Structure 1
Amino acid sequence: MKTFISKYILAIFFVAFFSSCEDFLNEVPQTARSAENFYKTGADFNNAIIGAYANFKHPGLYGNGGTNASMLWLTEVVSDNSTHGATKAVSNLSQFELDEFNISLSNTVTTSAWTGHYIGIGRVNTILDKLPAAAFDEALKARYEGEARFLRAYNYFNLVRLFGDVQLIDKGIDNPYGANDITRTDASVIYDLIINDLTIAENNLPATIPAVEAGRTSKWAAKALLGKVYLTRNQLDLAAQKLNEVITSGQFNLSTPYAATFSPATSYTNNKDVILAVQYKTGLVGQGSALWSDLTPWGVQNTLFGTTGSGGGFMQPTADMENAYEPGDLRKEASMQTAYKAANGSTVNVRHVVKYKQEGPQAGDADTDFPLLRYADVLLMYAEALNNQGQTSAAEPFLNQVRARAGLPEKTGLSQADFSLAVEQERRVELAFEGHRWFDLLRTGRYVEVMKNKGYPVQEFHYLYPIPQRETDLNSQLTQNPGY
């Protein structure tokens, strides 16, 4: 998707602007591009789909990979994995609210997450509205529908887990006030939409994605996400079925070494672990990743870490995270380090994430992609689904595949309860700093227990985030989550 993005970067601006414009004139000049004459050809819809993928880089989702990536704040910094390593200031109070579990209704991170996901939903809703009337190749139309439905499902899956009941909007809105009287819909209905969208997507999407289209979703990505949705809903048999379809497809494996999985030097075709990732490319305005520059220690010159600028102290690993790795676990050194060498050669003891390290880029302009779905995640979810159905011995090989790549011995003969904890532990170290920990603890109902036992001031209402004040001000029909 490196060249894919650069070739079509202008599509982002076309779709974002024209999808939201109201038709003030009955006649549109033939030389103008608008929502009325844009959605006609296959090329038009291809550009629109690319604009929808680009929304992964909205600050409310994964930003450009740095400290403005709401999804990492809301899933990693609020967990026992990491903390904010910066100095507290007026400019970062919202980030410290999350770090201190004292989240205000005006928190900019939660507000950005709400807004960013609905922008993504709005883009694909317009595509889905316009697609039936378009006259071009039916197979291509089916693929674009599958991609749009996958993206809508992904956005809604994040929203419903973050906020619970949310507004269900499944049609394009061209009125700037069109959503201001839409109430929250029960989460179960949102999940019905997600499952329906992913079911259509898995049937419409291609089985393989060529390297020139890296970053676009395949049917296996749809099946993996659908398996995660079913697991979250505790529909264990359906979860196991979908996850097993990915496993038995033969499309993915753990032959890529752990550190290489995240390296920009590893080609798309050789990386058999990553199923879907947000794509980044240096040298293009807004298309590089800031994640590596922001992960380096707060205020330290990044020349010590192979890039420019100064460090953001983002997602600083906790001591508990450091101690979570077993002796000999190859993933620890590939994921985090506990010290760095200063310019004078002295050792400075500061934990920092190195999973997305890249030598040479300018600050905020790295090539390192950010994984959204990985095969290792699928294996561990499948093990969880089997174990929760009482099939612990059948689940062991899938847990142990992940451990084998990490250089760790097999775990066998565990009770069902102990195996559940083993999967939780394995997911923590395997998927560290990828935005899974908070969701995992919520799914298993262990968030409050785990965090309180480690001294964090977490309460039951922290299972959801507050509906942003901006939204309730605009729409008096929106109720607030308890506790806020």
Structure 2
Amino acid sequence: MKNLIKTLILASTLILGACDSLLDTAPRQSLTPETAFTDVKSFESLLFTIYARVRSFNYYGQVMMIAPEIMADNLRIIANTGRYIGEEANADRAHIDLWTAGVFTGINEANILLTEIDKVDGDEALRAKLKGEAYFLRALFYFDLARVYGYEPGQEVEGWTASVVLRTTPTLGFSSADFRARSTNREVYNQIESDLTAAISSLAPQSMGTAGVYRGNKGAAEALLARVYLYEGKNAEAATMATQAMATLGLTNSGTGLVTAANYEAAFNTYPNPESIFEIEIRSVDWSSVDGVNNSMCSLTADVYTGAQFILTASSELLATYDQGDVRRQMWSPTTRSGADGIVYESKKWLGAKGDFLENLPIIRASELYLIRAEARQKTGNNSGAISDLNALRSKRGVNSVSGLTGNSLLQAVMKERRTEFALEGHRWFDLKRNGMTISKAGSFAPVPYTDYRILAPIPQDEITLNDLLENNPGYN
């Protein structure tokens, strides 16, 4: 009886999640792909639903941008609203929760599209495009789940290889609902690579800074695959794929295609950002009346609109990292806040460029390709190539070139460049973790050793209770 109840609960949850925004042509509980989708074009509405998962405040709309910064050493809290207090202290079970954030629902929706779209008539070019975007989004979802809940391949602690539950076919009803154990990190990364390879072959290039980057595109899939290879330690492949993406996007080895230092701040208040390869478009119709003031990146990191939360500021450790003349240092504006001691700093990246806390969020930017390739080249012994890539980016950020670096000194230079370039874009925790490094902290908070159980997020206990096959990460049992 217990297992029957679990099956009914699982099936109901998955069915409702999968049908969340389909056409109201029949009672919701009776919707099937056959009744909801009659031609290729009709699947586009499902794809838009999947994109909406990405902009959720529990995903890239907020959590995946902020949590990896404050869980490491880039941010500190200046007003206690209950948000990110545990994450700042790396308290037990205070981590990133993607398991219940709708990511698995997005995966199921992508699985529905990929499985069912070939069964209907329609334009073949559109079919290929929609499938390519679904592959891209499924890869993004699984990549984020994998790096939150598991170790990267080759970086396991005490042989722990468990990642997340892997599903590539849709759950449409009771007959296809089942419980599964977690796949290995290698299995999940293999699926991510496969999906991105399929996306690359199906999608067309889009120019940076155009509306085409609001959806999955060839350059975005190549850039994400380069990032995935870097996480996996496949450094030669990462360098090659970064080079391929740069060619697709028209970026040159000298940095042509990146914004100049004089235009860096303006780029973050332009939509789309001129360096965006993949950007989440957020419109006023996507928010309720209180979403912006309560949850937006603008509200939490700046004080430009009445009612802003403004609870986060740059750590002194981050501010000390910038070189003299670095335009990225100017993205932190000194100010004061009631209840906070002394000078604090608001971010000028997220200023609500569309008005009333509203802005788009760049998820993959062109500068990352130079830093992926620089790191990959350093790790494969191509020091001169790594330095060249570092300097190509630095020349566009108002700082002097570096020279003569080798070994760990060069790797640390790349890590520093990533830290300053992507502050408040959700990279810092993961950059330290994927390299097997101790998580450095701001202020008096203790560092988190790489072997500490808090490196991995816990699976919610309700999920463990529901599914006997799930085993939690070490330290959470």
The TM-score with structure 2 as length reference comes to: 0.83
> Within 2, Cα distance between the matches of 1:98 and 1:176?
38
Deviation at 1:326, TM superposition (A): 1.4
Deviation at 1:330, TM superposition (A): 0.9
Question: Which of 91, 112, 115 is the equivalent residue of 2:101?
Answer: 115
Per-residue Cα deviation, 1:85-109 (whole angstroms, up to 9, x for no partner):
32265xx4xx3221111133xx5x6
Give the counterpart letter for 2:470 in structure 1: L
Verify the 8 A CA contact 2:40 2:117 in the aligned structure 1: no
| Pair 1:102 & 2:91 matched | yes
Deviation at 1:24, TM superposition (A): 6.3
User: Could you say what secondary structure the match of 2:279 adopts?
Assistant: strand
Deviation at 1:442, TM superposition (A): 1.2
Larger mean Cα displacement after TM superposition, 316-325 or 381-390: 316-325
Deviation at 1:390, TM superposition (A): 0.3
Q: 1:136 to 1:150 in 2, by over 3 A?
A: same
Verify the 8 A CA contact 2:448 2:455 in the aligned structure 1: no
User: Could you say what secondary structure the match of 1:276 adopts?
Assistant: strand
Per-residue Cα deviation, 1:172-207 (whole angstroms, up to 9, x for no partner):
113479666211111110001000000010010011
| Pair 1:16 & 2:20 matched | yes
Q: 1:177 to 1:310 in 2, by over 3 A?
A: farther
Verify the 8 A CA contact 1:82 1:317 in the aligned structure 2: yes
Verify the 8 A CA contact 1:22 1:175 in the aligned structure 2: no
Per-residue Cα deviation, 1:370-399 (whole angstroms, up to 9, x for no partner):
111111111011011111100001221211
Alignment of 1:27-46 (within 5 A): 35-46=33-44
Verify the 8 A CA contact 1:329 1:407 in the aligned structure 2: yes
Verify the 8 A CA contact 1:59 1:112 in the aligned structure 2: no
Q: 1:321 to 1:463 in 2, by over 3 A?
A: same
Deviation at 1:236, TM superposition (A): 1.2
Verify the 8 A CA contact 2:206 2:249 in the aligned structure 1: no
Q: 1:180 to 1:217 in 2, by over 3 A?
A: same
Q: Which runs of 5+ in 1 are unaligned?
A: 1-12, 26-32, 64-68, 297-301
Per-residue Cα deviation, 1:19-53 (whole angstroms, up to 9, x for no partner):
9999966xxxxxxx753322222321122111111
Partner residue in 1 for 2:420: 429
| Pair 1:465 & 2:457 matched | yes
> Within 1, Cα distance between the matches of 2:428 and 2:80?
24
Q: 1:250 to 1:115 in 2, by over 3 A?
A: closer
> Within 2, Cα distance between the matches of 1:471 and 1:341?
40
Larger mean Cα displacement after TM superposition, 383-392 or 245-254: 245-254
> Within 2, Cα distance between the matches of 1:22 and 1:478?
33
Verify the 8 A CA contact 1:150 1:201 in the aligned structure 2: yes
Partner residue in 1 for 2:7: none
Deviation at 1:82, TM superposition (A): 0.9
> Within 2, Cα distance between the matches of 1:391 and 1:424?
16
Deviation at 1:310, TM superposition (A): 3.3
Give the counterpart letter for 1:262 in structure 2: F
Partner residue in 2 for 1:225: 224
Give the counterpart letter for 2:365 in structure 1: R
Q: 1:359 to 1:436 in 2, by over 3 A?
A: closer
Verify the 8 A CA contact 1:273 1:374 in the aligned structure 2: yes
> Within 2, Cα distance between the matches of 1:393 and 1:420?
13
Give the counterpart letter for 2:115 in structure 1: D
Question: Which of 338, 351, 354 is the equivalent residue of 1:357?
Answer: 351
Q: 1:431 to 1:215 in 2, by over 3 A?
A: same
| Pair 1:275 & 2:292 matched | no
Deviation at 1:360, TM superposition (A): 7.9
Question: Which of 240, 247, 254 is the equivalent residue of 2:258?
Answer: 254
Give the counterpart letter for 2:446 in structure 1: Y
> Within 2, Cα distance between the matches of 1:177 and 1:355?
48
Partner residue in 2 for 1:411: 402
> Within 1, Cα distance between the matches of 2:125 and 2:434?
37
Partner residue in 1 for 2:123: 137
| Pair 1:61 & 2:53 matched | no
Identity of aligned residues (%): 28
> Within 2, Cα distance between the matches of 1:135 and 1:361?
42
Deviation at 1:56, TM superposition (A): 0.8
> Within 1, Cα distance between the matches of 2:228 and 2:391?
23
User: Could you say what secondary structure the match of 2:245 adopts?
Assistant: helix
> Within 1, Cα distance between the matches of 2:438 and 2:424?
17
Per-residue Cα deviation, 1:95-154 (whole angstroms, up to 9, x for no partner):
3221111133xx5x6445543221211111111111111211222111111100000000
Deviation at 1:279, TM superposition (A): 1.0
Give the counterpart letter for 1:337 in structure 2: S
Deviation at 1:464, TM superposition (A): 1.0
User: Could you say what secondary structure the match of 1:16 adopts?
Assistant: coil
Question: Which of 444, 453, 456 is the equivalent residue of 2:435?
Answer: 444
| Pair 1:337 & 2:333 matched | yes
| Pair 1:326 & 2:323 matched | yes
Q: 1:192 to 1:453 in 2, by over 3 A?
A: farther
Verify the 8 A CA contact 2:438 2:447 in the aligned structure 1: no
Deviation at 1:230, TM superposition (A): 0.7
Q: 1:235 to 1:284 in 2, by over 3 A?
A: closer
| Pair 1:375 & 2:375 matched | no
Q: Please report the RMSD computed on the Cα atoms of aligned residues, expressed in angstroms.
A: 3.0
Q: Which runs of 5+ in 2 are unaligned?
A: 1-16, 151-162, 252-256
Give the counterpart letter for 2:143 in structure 1: F
Paired residues in the alignment total 432
User: Could you say what secondary structure the match of 1:277 adopts?
Assistant: strand
Q: 1:436 to 1:46 in 2, by over 3 A?
A: same
> Within 2, Cα distance between the matches of 1:213 and 1:254?
18
| Pair 1:157 & 2:143 matched | yes
Question: Which of 389, 396, 400 is the equivalent residue of 1:398?
Answer: 389
> Within 2, Cα distance between the matches of 1:127 and 1:318?
43
Deviation at 1:339, TM superposition (A): 2.0
User: Could you say what secondary structure the match of 1:309 adopts?
Assistant: coil
Q: 1:166 to 1:219 in 2, by over 3 A?
A: same
User: Could you say what secondary structure the match of 1:196 adopts?
Assistant: helix
> Within 2, Cα distance between the matches of 1:451 and 1:211?
37
Larger mean Cα displacement after TM superposition, 175-184 or 217-226: 175-184
> Within 2, Cα distance between the matches of 1:127 and 1:427?
35
> Within 1, Cα distance between the matches of 2:363 and 2:467?
32
Q: 1:70 to 1:113 in 2, by over 3 A?
A: farther
